[in-house]
Amino acid sequence: MEYYGNRLCISMRDLVDGGIMSEPNYKQLASRGRFDVVRKGRGQGCYALVAVDSLPDRYKEKVEEVYPGGSQARLEGWIISNYEVDQKATAFFFSKEQCGVALPADKAKEYITNASVLNTCIKLHDRAATAQKLFGGKYDWTMMAATIETLRKRFGHTLPASTLRFRKKVNDYKTNGYACLISGKYGNQSARKVDYKTERLILGIAVQPNKPWNTNVLELYNSFVTGEYDVFDPDTGELFNPDDFTDKNGEPMVLSEATICNYLNKPKNRALIDHRLMTPTTFIHEVMPHMHRHHGEFSLSKVSFDDRDLPRKLKDTRIRPKAYYAYDVTSGCCIGAAYNRAKNIDLVVDMFRDMFRLLDRNGWGCPAEVEVENHLMSQWKDSFLRAGVMFPFVRFCAPMNSQEKHAEQFNGAKKRSIEHRNHVGIGRFYAKSRQYRTESNKVFDEFNNTYEDKEYYTWDELIADDRRDIYEYNHALHPNQKKYKGMTRWDVLVANINPTLQPLDKATIARYVGEKVSTTIRRNSYCRVLHKDWWLSKTEVIELLAPNDYKVDAYYLTDEEGNVTDMFIYQGDMYIDRLEDIGTYNTARAEQTEEDEKIFVEQQKKISHFKKYVEDRAIGRVGVIERDSRPSAVEVEEVAVPEPETRETEDFSYGTDYAAQGLEAV
């Protein structure tokens, strides 16, 4: 018998020669269609084939008697015709996330085949009628296992040949699914020579503060399992038991240096070791994932601040001047700079003043967002740098994470592209590139830490050089020439100002970064600040003052030359007014200019406004008399009044009502 078109067939000659039927009988049954002739005979080598399952029952039984093994052949045919590749198994075994381990391609294909074969076996088991027809009774596990074994070469599966083991594998597959087909050497702890507990011990030894080499880790591990050293948990004080780290024979688990090296250099273990041994700064910059960003489309949408030391030293103190910069993130332009001998609050305040002067001078609005560091800016976290006070958005960058601040990148670009070209001695002593590497000659003295620098500079020289470098940096081509072809950083800044920026709130700017002077409002009209009289904008301002308190704090802004540009007064935290510098006029009429006449008119307006303010609120006078507490005429009892003594000098008339006369006079 043989298969033809996935059907078990027998040839016409085997039917006749085996005595199952005669040749005339075959021809008669074939002509009547009593069985299926799946292939007709066509001469030598091409003989007729009849489907066994289409034969009448009495002939089918004779076929089984004459040619034993036909049931197994029919079973093979059914399995072959119903075998399908399991697509869900394909997705499972080729996915590391689903199966939990990255399988080699050949192993994944092997497990997919095993799952597909088992699916076919389970399908037959669930179809009772089909199974009874094939097996001639109940499900025959022995026949099924034997049949699956004969199909090993055809499908390439690796299922067990033993009936009991095959039956167990089927039941395990039905219960646990695809995972039970994966070999224990893939992700199974019991198959590992170094289990999870041993691996954690190795890692614990590797993260000692002295950063031991791999060979030292191996020596310490071997010393522990042999009882020479004790290993304990420093957090709990618990001692590890060497007996927990033995093989199946109870002997100490022996590890090679290659094994130690492999486990210490696993990517997941390498990250854990680096986390314990590296400083937070080094770990953040070398190991930890970082954010991927792109810049905004509009200038002043975001401004980033950062400090740095200028690369060259001063003559007098042998130190580097401290600088603080403000950069527009979109264009990369430096829009504010300040310098100091120390990194202090004054340095930051001067930087803000310089930035706001530039914005005011060009008529630009207030930056929508600022990106600041924690060191010097944290003092304003609840006031000036609270979101909504000065800037709509404020971001405080994580400490020691320089890659987060855009200003760090711009500082580096300015140093490498401009400063390195314009000056000598710009670079790093540890730089990989020899063009950017700086070198110094060591002085072998008693301190053994002194180095010779080629040149030192004065304060004015260093600051002037840096100002020129900033100008050149701002007017150099923007690095993204594909987007801003032919445009400099300054061109990009000016051409892309964010149209939604809020106007500069100079009163708030003056209060937090301006100069402060305590003064008093005089004559309800002006304050004296810096030997000059500054007028109130209007008389109504005095209504905002606290009772019996004319003392105020004056905050003012200055330009680059130190001249006052804006003056504001506060009383405590309350904003009072913006003062005006009207000036003074020459009293000599013969010497007066148009400016004097203009000032005279402005002052007269202020005084006239004050007069009108007082007149509009003039107080009306009221009369005040003492209440009469004498008894009324009805309640007075008649009493005998003695006659007065006679006086020669004076004559009083008791009938006159002087009180009434007094009231009438009023």
More confident residue, 157 or 60: 157
User: What's the token pair of residue 422?
Assistant: 């314009």
pLDDT for 74: 67
Secondary structure class of 591 (helix, strand, coil): helix
Q: Residue 571 corresponds to which amino acid?
A: Q
More confident call, 268 vs 401: 268
Average pLDDT (536-553) is 94
The encoded tokens of residue 271 equal: 């990250």
Q: What is the pLDDT of residue 268?
A: 87
pLDDT of residue 309: 92
Task: Report the alpha-carbon distance of residue 491 to residue 470 in Å, rounded.
Answer: 15
pLDDT score of 584: 93
Query: Mean pLDDT, to the nearest integer, of 68-93?
Result: 77
Q: Record the tokens describing residue 371, joined without a space.
A: 């990106």
**CA–CA distance, 518 with 520 (Å, rounded to integer):** 7
Structure tokens at 235: 């957090």
57 band by pLDDT with thresholds 50, 70 and 90: confident
Over residues 309-328, the mean pLDDT reads 91
Q: What stretch of H or E contains 472?
A: helix 459-474
Percent of the chain at pLDDT above 70? 86
Tell whether the model's pLDDT for residue 448 goes beyond 80: no
Q: Give the type of residue at 448.
A: N
Alpha carbon distance 99, 22 (integer Å)? 60
Average pLDDT of the chain to the nearest whole number: 84
Give me the mean pLDDT over the 500-508 stretch: 94
What are 177-236's pLDDT values in tens digits?
888 888 766 655 444 556 778 888 888 889 988 889 888 988 888 888 887 788 887 777
Mean pLDDT calculated for residue range 508-531: 94
Confidence (pLDDT) at 131: 61
Distance CA(303)–CA(380), nearest Å, equals 17
Average pLDDT of span 101-124: 87
- Return the pLDDT at 644: 56
Residue 495 pLDDT: 95
CA distance 253 to 225: 7
Which structural domains are found in the chain, ordered by start?
Answer: 2-68 (1.10.10), 82-181 (no CATH), 192-277 (no CATH), 303-495 (3.30.420.10), 506-579 (no CATH)
Q: 3-state class of 488 per DSSP? A: strand
Higher per-residue confidence, 568 vs 450: 568
Q: Could you tell me if 305 and 371 are in contact, meaning their C-beta atoms sit under 8 angstroms apart?
A: yes
Q: What is the pLDDT of residue 394?
A: 94
569, 553 contact by CB (below 8 A): yes
pLDDT band of residue 657 (cuts 50, 70, 90) is: low
